[in-house]
Amino acid sequence: MKKCILILMILCLLPGLSACGRDSSYEKPVSGKYYLALLPDKKGKNTVENVLDVTLRLKVGGALVHTAFGQEESGTWEAGTREITLTWGDESYTGKLSEDRIEIGEAVYIRGLKEARDLWTADAAAYVADPLAEYEGKYYLSGLLEGGQNRVEKINDATLWLLPENEAILFDKGKNTLLSWNADGNRIVLREGNDTQIFTYKNGTLSGNTEDTEVFWCRDKEEAESFLAAHPYVPKPHIPVLSGLEGDYYLAAATAFGRAVDIGRAGAIRISLLPDWGLYYDGQIYAEEGSYGPLPGGDYEFVTASGRFTGSAENGCLTLKDPGGDQMIFFDSLEKAEIYRTEHGGADGPGTQEDPKESTEDPTLEIEDPDWESSLAEIPAEPEDAEFWQGTWFGLVRLTDDCSGLYRLMRGKCYTVYVTLSMQPDGTGTLIAFDPAATFAERLLSGSVVCEEGRTLLLAEGLIEPFNVTIKNFSASFDEARGLVSFSLKQSVSGGAIGGELLLRPWGEGWEDQPEILALFPDYEAYLEEVAAGVPRYAPESVGPEPSTK
């Protein structure tokens, strides 16, 4: 009988013996379902909207299920006395462990739905609101009144962002300025270095005086439009200043490093001299605006973003020289330019071309990448996809965690975007991106593009206009499977960095087959109404003046 009792005792111990060698001491107290109850921002305010949105289910045996806004991911967990490591997707997180909670950084998960809601409620009640929150936001410049006349043309031309932590950004026609600010009752003080501006705040408006000018800012966009409508901008009559040189000029010859460059064909570069001493420089790969003016002695100075040139104009021939002595020769008709290119090659300019018979050197030297115009060395072939890219594209800008500094609050924001592409038959063209909501400015990006193989578009050089930042050599490809273009960008700007993803489709196409993207559009219904009307909000602009045959 005693022998039977002993056998029974051994059999009862077997489950415990089988567990030897595996540390399961933490599985029972740790396993269960945890709810995200706290996720404070930098000021301590809890950003959790619903404790059911993000959960962790820790199973016995080390398996884990992470659920965020309805999307599940499987993973694993390992626990020690005071520490736990969670892994799902491509990420691992190590945090603090106590009886009923897991703390990963500032995030706190609570086991038990009631307990999580109790903590969430208690934290919300204890939070002290930001005393400046009432004043924070985006303001539109709606009034610059001088003697009753408003100088504001469009409310999107200048915007003022009052941000947390007494930081502010002023966007004014492509220029951004970093400011600081504070509030005392209805008094708002803006500072830039030692300069101070004082405004009166009332129901989302700022008003003040700068010398003899009354200044008005409105946080509500419709209110800003109403103010502008009540105080309309009345432009003064403009009489253009004419130089007598206005017109289009086509490249016939050029030198680089003192040697002639084989430009391939006349007109590879075109300069248009405009009224009011303005100019437009179309370099095929990129285009620039600039100015020119007279110099003592009868010559002229030409200024673009690429540099300064001196030049002379005589009998329809325009000669530009850079500080190094290299030059470009233009004629006021494409026919004249081609005749000169064929007969002379343009090594030293009109009337001074060296006789090739007397020279033992090759009169042309192909330069792979001259600083002033890389397209002179190699005129791109005519790709088949130029027509594919031509037109208006519609999509979404999604700002990512790459936004930093003053722009950290923009993370996760989504905005509608339009992109217009004006393409030439040779595969070059211009790109302009518009944000109709004018988050920073209505025109986001402008630049020059080149078609590459496989329906890939290279942004050779562009300007992020609200921040006046130049970017180069970014490419985007058309994804045949998804039927869209994806373009990612991270760029340092004044006050931090901007990062985001641009998703595009040809204007007129729907996004219903991409529900995750469709849910991010802030005003998709307005887009559908626009498509039904058959006219896009933005249309491609001309790349430049069309060639003429003077």
- Check: CB of residue 395 under 8 Å from CB of residue 483: no
Q: What is the pLDDT of residue 433?
A: 93
Distance CA 85, CA 213 (A): 61
Q: Which fold has domain 137-230?
A: Lipocalin (2.40.128)
Is residue 18 predicted with pLDDT exceeding 90? no
How far, in Å, CA of 55 to CA of 110, rounded? 9
- Of 394, 436, 397, the C-alpha closest to 419 is 394
Confidence of residue 46 (pLDDT cuts 50, 70, 90): confident
Q: Write the CB contacts of 66 (distance below 8 Å, at least 6 apart in sequence).
A: 55, 56, 72, 73, 74, 75, 86, 88, 89
| Band (269; pLDDT cuts 50, 70, 90) | confident
The amino acid at 135: Y
- Cβ-contact 463, 447 below 8 angstroms: yes
- Of the chain, the percentage scoring pLDDT greater than 70 comes to 84
CA dist., res. 29 & res. 385, Å (int):
62
Cross-strand pairs, 462: 447, 471
Task: Say yes or no: domain 23-126 is CATH 2.40.128.270.
Answer: yes
Name the token pair of 534. 């058959």
Q: What is the mean pLDDT of the chain?
A: 82
What's the CA gap between 263 and 367, in Å, rounded?
A: 10
Look at residue 350 in the predicted model and tell me its pLDDT.
Answer: 43
In a 3-state reduction of DSSP, which class is residue 506? strand
Residue pair 436/399 in contact by the 8 Å Cβ criterion: no
Taking the C-alpha atoms of residue 81 and residue 99, their distance in angstroms, rounded to an integer, is 10
DSSP 8-state assignment for residue 465: G
Two tokens, residue 343: 């007969």
Per-residue CA distances from 342 to 41, 253, 366, 450 (Å) = 68, 10, 16, 27
What confidence tens digit (pLDDT) does each residue in 404-453 have? 888 887 888 899 999 999 998 888 899 999 999 888 888 889 999 999 88
Residue that the structure tokens 């430009």 belong to: 263
Rounded to whole angstroms, the maximal C-alpha distance in the chain is: 128
Dump pLDDT digits (tens) for 181-201.
999 889 999 999 888 999 999
- Give the dihedral of Cα atoms 533, 534, 535, 537; nearest 10 deg: 70
B/e letters for 264-293, b = 16+ CB within 10 Å, e = fewer, are: eebbbbbbbbbeebebbbbbbbbbbebebe
pLDDT of residue 470: 86
User: In this structure, what token pair is assigned to residue 344?
Assistant: 């002379």
pTM, 2 dp: 0.53
Domain boundaries, the chain: 23-126, 137-230, 247-350, 386-533
Average pLDDT over residues 5-9: 41
Residue 328 pLDDT greater than 50, yes or no: yes
Residue 450 and residue 458 in contact, taking contact as beta carbons nearer than 8 Å: yes
Cα four-point dihedral sign 415, 490, 505, 70 = negative
Distance CA 372, CA 376 (A): 9
Residue 235's pLDDT band, with cuts at 50, 70 and 90, is confident
Secondary structure of 141-165 in HEC code, one letter for each residue = EEEEEECCEECCCCHHHEEEEEECC
Answer whether 23-126 and 247-350 agree in fold. yes
Helix residue ranges, H only, 62-143: 113-126
Q: Give 441-495 pLDDT, tens digit per residue.
A: 888 899 999 998 888 999 988 888 888 888 888 888 899 989 999 888 888 887 7
Q: Which of 347, 350, 354, 123 is nearest to 254 (CA)?
A: 347
**Closest of 437, 431, 495, 436 to residue 464, by C-alpha:** 431
Dihedral (Cα; 254, 256, 261, 266), 10-degree rounding:
-30
Q: Quote the CA–CA distance of 513 and 481 in Å, as a whole number.
A: 12
What kind of architecture, by CATH, is found in domain 386-533? Beta Barrel (2.40)
Which of the four pLDDT bands, split at 50, 70 and 90, describes residue 357?
Answer: very low
Which CATH topology does 247-350 take? Lipocalin (2.40.128)
